Amino acid sequence: MDNFATLIGYHGCERSLAMKVLLGEEELNPSTNDYDWLGEGIYFWANDAQRALQWAKTKKEPFVLGAVICCSNILDFTTQEARIATKKSYDSLYEIYEGNNIPLPKNKPVGKGDIDLKNRKLDCLVMNHLQKTSPFDAFIAPFWEGKAIYDGAMFKESSHIQIAVKNPKSILGYFKHLSNKGKK
């Protein structure tokens, strides 16, 4: 699982925060929600500034911040190794929780009629446990999200590749993406 990767990621955020990050006045903070599917980390959309912009449109002044991410130790969920490591992490947690007679959290939809399990408390717990037992610079994984783009399709409207940076030192630098055209 030790492998080297240089990634381009896009982070949707408020313009004021992006400007401070670009000027080196602030850093992006890791998300620590108990439902973040890849656990604690600084989240980016891999190679997809438009998807970052879609997400950022929930902000008052949406902005897309680009980042060059260089990892010497990345957990890539397109590989069998990552899936095996994740299953081992789950099995370990299952034993701990079962031994203490505590139910594991579940992944659930956010709202009624929601087709995606966006409240990923179980996944978050497993990913954070995995990171504690085998630290990585970043996790990268496909996320199938949204409605089918046509009847019977497995391609989804909002699918993307997500990067969760665990080691902020892996972020070499930030840049302003062209989707912010005209925004100073």
125, β-bridge pairs: none
**Alpha-carbon distances, residue 165 vs 30, 48, 69, 93 (angstroms):** 8, 16, 8, 22
Paired tokens of 18: 């992006």
Sequence length of the chain is: 184
32-65 tens-digit pLDDT: 999 999 999 999 999 999 999 999 999 999 999 9
Backbone dihedral region of 58: left (phi > 0), alpha (psi from -120 to 50 degrees) or beta?
A: alpha
61-120 tens-digit pLDDT: 999 999 999 999 999 999 999 999 999 999 999 999 999 999 999 988 777 766 666 789
Compute the Cα dihedral for 115, 161, 83, 136 and give only its sign.
negative
Q: Could you identify the residue written with the tokens 């009624």?
A: 112
Whole-angstrom distance, CA of residue 9 vs CA of residue 11: 7
Whole-angstrom distance, CA of residue 12 vs CA of residue 34: 20
64, β-bridge pairs: 12
Whole-angstrom distance, CA of residue 122 vs CA of residue 62: 30
How far apart are the two ends of the chain, measured CA to CA in Å?
A: 41
Mean pLDDT of 148-158: 90
What are the start-end ranges of the E strands in the chain?
5-14, 42-46, 62-71, 74-76, 107-108, 119-120, 138-143, 160-165, 171-176
Average pLDDT, the chain: 91
**Alpha-carbon distances, residue 40 vs 69, 91, 137, 164 (angstroms):** 17, 20, 12, 8
Q: What is the pLDDT of residue 113?
A: 66
Spatial CB neighbours of 2, under 8 Å, sequence gap ≥ 6: 72, 73
